[in-house]
């Protein structure tokens, strides 16, 4: 199984969307994270 981590600045739109889209693929484990702790 391959693991993918999607990262964007705030983890509010881009990375959670990518996580949701790619989580449907067989053989992939996905997660998302944000880099800027100020906005979380």
Q: What is the pLDDT of residues 8-38, one digit of tens each?
A: 999 999 999 999 999 999 999 999 999 986 6
Nearest-angstrom CA–CA distance, 4 and 10 = 18
User: Is residue 5's pLDDT more than 80?
Assistant: yes
Q: What is the pTM of this model?
A: 0.79
Q: What is the pLDDT of residue 16?
A: 94
Question: HSE (CB half, 13 Å, CA atoms) of 10?
Answer: 5
The pLDDT score that the predictor gives to residue 39 is 54
The Cα 12–Cα 32 span in angstroms is 10
Q: Tell me, what's the pLDDT at 36?
A: 84
pLDDT of 7 strictly over 90? yes
Is residue 2 within 8 Å of residue 29, measured between CB atoms? yes
């Amino acid at each position: 199984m391959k693991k993918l981590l999607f990262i964007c600045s705030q983890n509010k739109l881009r990375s959670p969307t990518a996580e949701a889209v790619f989580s449907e693929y067989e053989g992939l484990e996905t997660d998302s994270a944000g880099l800027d702790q100020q906005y979380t």
